[in-house]
Structure 1
Amino acid sequence: MSAGTTTARISQRISAIAESATLAVDAKAKALKAAGRPVIGFGAGEPDFPTPDYIVQAAIEAAGQPKYHRYSPAGGLPELKKAIAEKTLRDSGYQVDPSQVLVTNGGKQAVYNTFATLVDPGDEVIIPTPFWTTYPEAIRLAGGVPVEVFAGPEQGYLVTVEQLEAAVTDRTKILLFVSPSNPTGAVYSPEQVAEIGKWAASKGLWVVTDEIYEHLTYDGVEFTSIATAAPELGDKVVILNGVAKTYAMTGWRVGWMIGPADVIKAATNLQSHATSNVSNIMQIAAAAALTGPLTAVDEMKVAFDRRRKAIVAGLNAIDGVECPTPTGAFYVYADVRGLLGKEFETSNGPVRPETSAELAALILDEVEVAVVPGEAFGPSGYVRLSYALGDDDLAEGVRRIQEFLGKAK
């Protein structure tokens, strides 16, 4: 390097990554609570239930076994890969061999590994929008180009084949498909899933499908795996999943990707250099979860359903807020465009928020309630609230929001 030449301290690739907005909101809420402020956080998608006892016990027993104190295969313990394959057949009707499974450090690593393995610089990935905040960043890190296709509340946050068709170019390689959806809670019908899958197959596209909310549906709505609904896709499907949401195991960090053998082998090679194996203790806990009963999620769904109805009713009671009723996951995605530009009295005088980010900041500052603005998931004008928190906190948080937003002029 010649004298006088300067280089950036942080690489352009990493500097371009946006912070996880959902984790940032959650971290700020927790910091304020730790400082003694009565903050209520609707930010993180994290069940408020403890991990079921039988799963915890499996981890305790595994911790006492010296064989789990050592390195294990980078792609995952054989017993967990077998359990994932059997669970996928049970829940999705999709048959895979354990060799087609890669166990990852949470669902996020499965997302990263997948796009790093499939995407070359310049490849385009269609993302139905609103989207989970990590997807576009993982695509960009791989050198890909996220192509947003927005579906608003007037169409139930569900994209159509016509919209997807309009987004395709000769650089399109992948369609990302998520149902039930984070952040909207929208669920595609079996017919819609099949139609979109057949369309993707006709275009020769890969489909990456995130199924982590598969067990969280309501009102008789059923989950449909695009891998099963559209057999025309053949082996150009990668399924992402994990134990976090179904079994209240967000902190245990176990996810996985399922795909054709060559893709899984390549992704495993990547993981062997990035992190190697997932904690053996956590893998044994995940195996216990997948081979055990689904009673825990059934019990959680009763509470989630109750909270879902309460939060939708509470938000729709506010003038200027339109909140569709979600049929999956544990989020509501409220349309707050009717409040933007309105005047709010604050401790610092009147304020007119022009974006949902400004409105969310105002709600946190004025009534100490944390919500995630739509800018984290796509266009401005919306806020996401997770109802995976206690009933009392939910009721109090909604009451505060109603009181504050109800004063808009």
Structure 2
Amino acid sequence: MPRYQLSRLEQASKVHRQFRESHEGHRPHAGLEPTRASTGVVWTTERAYEHGFLDEPEAWANLGQGAPEVDDDIAGCFPRPEQIDISNQGREYGPTAGIKPLREAVARLYNEHHRQGKESQYTWENVCIVPGGRAGLIRIAAVLGTCYLGFFIPDYTAYNEMLSLFKNIAAIPIPLGEHDKFHMSVDKIAEEIARGMSVFLTSNPRNPTGQMVANPELARIQDLCRDRATLIMDEFYSGYNYTTDCDGSVVSAAANVHDVDADDVLILDGLTKRFRLPGWRVAWVLGPKEFIQAIGSCGSYLDGGCNVPFQEAAVAMLDPPRVRNEMQALQRHFKMKRDYVIGRLEAMGFKLRYKPTSTFYIWLDLSSLPEGIADGLNFFQACLEEKTIVVPGIFFDLNPSKRRDLFDSPCHHFVRVSYGPRMDVLEKGMDAIERVVTRHREGEGRKSGQAVDGEP
């Protein structure tokens, strides 16, 4: 494949040079590999610091970080805890697989919402509590045997660093295309199994495209993988489901598992996204007991386990009726924000080929914009000058084995825009993006006018 040809504007772009330099692996300190220290979102935040974000964050619109608003003003949602009690047990080291009451609460939630009437039910032994989703992914990677692991691109940026840490994993990218809305299909899975893939890792709902694989297609994928491949399903955005009229329904692979101890399906979720508590770092892995025992044990040398007082406080939040009510309120609120942002972008002239059916992200195509902002890095740089942060699409084109030059990426002309923040932040961010687009279109128009005036 020919290398991506940098345009004249890109060759003169400071942000493109910064990206190149940060990904060359130069080592100013012996033994340090600086490229392992930063994900794409962190890199964008570091560039924002250079423009004053750290000194005055309230003046900015951060539409880059993948976090939902944490305030208590969403109609119908329960108030976030403002203080927690610390028991004597909470002062001790906790079990690295998590405290039993919380493991029981997670199992009960999935049985109530996804497994009613099924003979095989999750128990506390099918649940491991972990200090955040990244920790859960790293624990899973640590217990996998030597394997070909397929991951779909574009996808969550932190997978890149995680997959590059473990030499037992041969990470194989599976590109998804615009023509099918970046959709993970049964046929695509079948092709990869035929090629020898034994593990699949994917976010569902998908970050950054905002799409979701639901039943019956999700069930067909699981049927195909049963006894052939392990499915690692990152379901952190499962609460943000806009396909069922905001009735609180959550799509999960747990509904299609035949035998909770035999089906090799590992599900990750937690309080971070759908319970809007990213600072708590309380998450879980759900799966067969043998997998969970290994994942629980390896926490002793990887992360030491999850904060015990926060685990104790989380138990009451997972009451199934309470969760259903919470998801209804969450879906109504975030669908409203989705529609606002889409409306503003379309009014600016952006062409959105499809709406997000889940998450709080828009995978925004820049290809119709003027040349100076038609790629993710230059658009990102222009937004920084207006005190707004987005994430260049190139960071979601995972490349853990460094097999490709990322400037060949089909994600080069995209950015991810988050509508996770509060409405006032979204309004500020949309105003800033509108200024960027208007300024560059006017500049392009002046250039075009000058050429016409100069004609004989």
1:30 and 1:69 map into 2 onto residues whose CA distance is 37
Question: Residue 148 of structure 1: SS of its match in structure 2?
Answer: strand
Q: Quick one: which of 357, 367, 380 aligns to 1:327?
A: 357
Counting only pairs closer than 5 Å after superposition, residues 104-253 of structure 1 correspond to structure 2 as 104-120=130-146, 123-143=147-167, 144-168=169-193, 170-201=195-226, 204-220=228-244, 223-229=250-256, 231=258, 234-253=262-281
| Matched position secondary structure for 1:149 | strand
Give the corresponding residue for 1:368.
Answer: 387
User: Counterpart of 2:292 in structure 1: which amino acid?
Assistant: I
Q: 1:262 aligns to what?
A: 290
Superposition deviation, residue 311 in structure 1:
0.8
Match of 1:47 among 44, 47, 68: 68
Query: 1:216 Cα shift?
Result: 1.2
The structure 2 residue matched to 1:391, chosen from 423, 427, 436, is 423
Q: Over aligned residue pairs, what C-alpha RMSD do you find?
A: 2.8
For 1:263 and 1:15, the matched residues in 2 are separated by 32
How far residue 28 of structure 1 moved from its aligned partner, in angstroms, is 4.9
**Structure 2 unaligned spans of 5+:** 1-27, 398-410, 445-456
Query: Deviation at 1:67?
Result: 2.3
TM-score between both structures, scaled by the size of structure 2: 0.77
Give the Å deviation of 1:182.
1.5
Question: Is the CA contact 1:151–1:157 (under 8 Å) kept in the aligned structure 2?
Answer: yes
- Residues 145, 364 of structure 1: CA spacing in aligned structure 2 closer, same or farther, 3 A cutoff? farther
Deviations 1:16-60 (A, max 9, x none): 536221233346547733423732110112121337776626x52
SS where residue 247 of structure 1 aligns?
Answer: coil
Deviations 1:45-91 (A, max 9, x none): 2121337776626x522x2x222111121111111111111112123
* 285 and 27 in structure 1: CA distance in 2 versus 1, 3 angstrom threshold: farther
Q: Does 1:19 align with 2:38?
A: yes
> Kindly tell me: are residues 207 and 125 of structure 1, through their superposed partners in 2, closer, same or farther at Cα, counting changes over 3 Å?
same
Aligned equivalents of 1:8, 1:270: Cα separation in 2: 31
SS state at 2:149 partner: strand
TM-score of the superposed pair, with normalisation by structure 1 = 0.85
Cα deviation per residue 1:135-162 (whole Å; 9 max; x = unaligned)?
2321221222332223334322212223
Confirm or deny: 8 A CA contact 1:80 1:286 kept in the other structure. Answer: yes
CA distance in 1, matches of 2:78, 2:229: 42
Which secondary structure does the structure 1 equivalent of 2:417 belong to?
strand
Higher mean C-alpha displacement, 204-213 vs 133-142: 133-142
How many residue pairs were aligned?
A: 385
Deviation by residue 1:366-391 (Cα, 9 ceiling, x = unmatched): x2211011111123221111111121
Cα contact 2:366–2:375 (8 A) shared by 1: no
